[in-house]
Amino acid sequence: MKLLNWEVGIDQPFFLICGPCVIESEQLAIDTAGYLKEMTDRLGIPFIYKSSFDKANRSSSKSFRGPGLEKGLEILQKVKDQVGVPVLTDVHEDTPIKEVSSVVDVMQTPAFLCRQTNFIRKVCEPGTPVNIKKGQFLSPWDMNNVVEKARETGNEHIMVCERGASFGYNNLVSDMRSLSIMRETGCPVVYDATHSAQLPGGQGSSSGGLREVIPVLARAAIAAGVSGVFMESHPDPSVAKCDGPNSFPMYRIEETLKVMKELDTIVKKAGFAEDSITDFGSGDLL
């Protein structure tokens, strides 16, 4: 699949979606986009800048939600113009989709909303690339129905994204089988390495996270085989206004991406044994 300027897919180098969870300020947006652009250029990783203008589904109504639609889009446009990177943002049930799609390069739908037919269709209709996050409550094979609905709009640029499955209360587990099962949708599969590290609701009025497992999960997903990786990163997660506990410290991201890049190259060069493992052999190889 052609995504923006790149070929993306299980046989192509992985692309990165990265940025702070929420747009905290114009300055932070420009700075982080620039920092990440330089780094990914250096590493040869196609890069899409991510940031949200409104965190609609915070655990508590007291949490910071972002600059709002108008100001948010303005900042994202500046990021595109000044830094020269494509941008992604997430949209919600009441987002004016056309307005957003006229600015951003990729839209992303929240995991909780993956089964809202009208919403998924509305987001896909403009034809802008869409990254559909799989619900924490959904099996990987059930994404086939979601993708079918999305494609009925004529949009050919649909991606699917694993971000962890419900595992008891206040915990998520990343099922690496999901990454290969979702390839069957025909869509590029993206792994969200930071929300997968979330401990939802685990801190009373906000969600907790295990930042230290992010590189573990990111490496594992790359080795399982994905088309892209999503990571939220912040220059200083301890003061991040959203998802700090599962945000990755930005100054540590290059070393992690470097390993991921090497792993990705090896895995994709070797090909995926799982695709032909039903060929069982005669048993007389010995």
Q: What are phi and psi of 131, to 5 degrees?
A: -100, 110
Query: For a second copy, which residue of 129, 225, 228, 245 counts as binding (CB under 8 A)?
Result: 225
Tokens 């907790």 found at: 208
- Closest approach, Cβ 106 to a second copy, in A, equals 21
Strand, helix or coil at 44?
Answer: coil
Taking CB under 8 A as the criterion, the residue among 75, 119, 134, 245 binding a second copy is: 119
Interface pattern 151-190 for a second copy (x via CB under 8 A): -x------------xxxxxxx-xxxxx-xxx---------
Rule CB under 8 A: which of 6-65 touch a second copy? 31-32, 34-35, 56-61
Q: Which two tokens stand for residue 283?
A: 């048993």
The single residue listed with the structure tokens 């299980």 is 10
* Positions 62 through 91 that interact with a second copy (CB under 8 A): none
Instruction: Kindly tell me which residue out of 17, 29, 92, 106 binds a second copy, with binding defined by CB under 8 A.
Output: 92
Cα 187 to Cα 181: distance, rounded to the nearest angstrom: 11
- Which residue in the set 5, 201, 229, 230 belongs to the binding site for a second copy (CB under 8 A)? 201
| Residue whose CB is less far from a second copy, 1 or 97 | 97
What minimum distance in Å lies between the beta carbon of 248 and a second copy?
8
Per-residue string for binding with a second copy, 254-273, x by CB under 8 A? -xx-xx--xx--xx--x-xx
Task: Determine, following the binding rule CB under 8 A, whether residue 96 of this chain makes contact with a second copy.
Answer: no
* Site size toward a second copy, by CB under 8 A: 98
Q: Is 125 in the site for a second copy (CB under 8 A)?
A: no
Cα distances from 78 to residues 82, 108, 173, 240, in angstroms, run 6, 20, 36, 21
Extract the runs of DSSP E, i.e. beta strands, from 111-241. 130-133, 158-162, 165-166, 172-173, 189-192, 198-199, 208-209, 228-234
Minimum gap (Å) between residue 135 Cβ and a second copy:
7
Confirm if 51 and 122 have CB atoms less than 8 A apart: no
Q: Which is nearer to a second copy, 155 or 180 (CB)?
A: 180
Q: How far is CA 35 from the centre of its chain?
A: 19
Amino acid found at 110: P
Report the nearest approach of a second copy to the CB of residue 4 (Å).
25
User: Any contact of residue 135 with a second copy (CB under 8 A)?
Assistant: yes
Shortest distance, position 126 Cβ to a second copy, whole Å: 16
Q: Residue 89: helix, strand or coil by DSSP?
A: strand
Is residue 284 within 8 A of residue 67, CB to CB? The reply is: no
Name which position in 3, 132, 138, 159 contacts a second copy (CB under 8 A): 138
Q: Read off the tokens for 193.
A: 């390495």
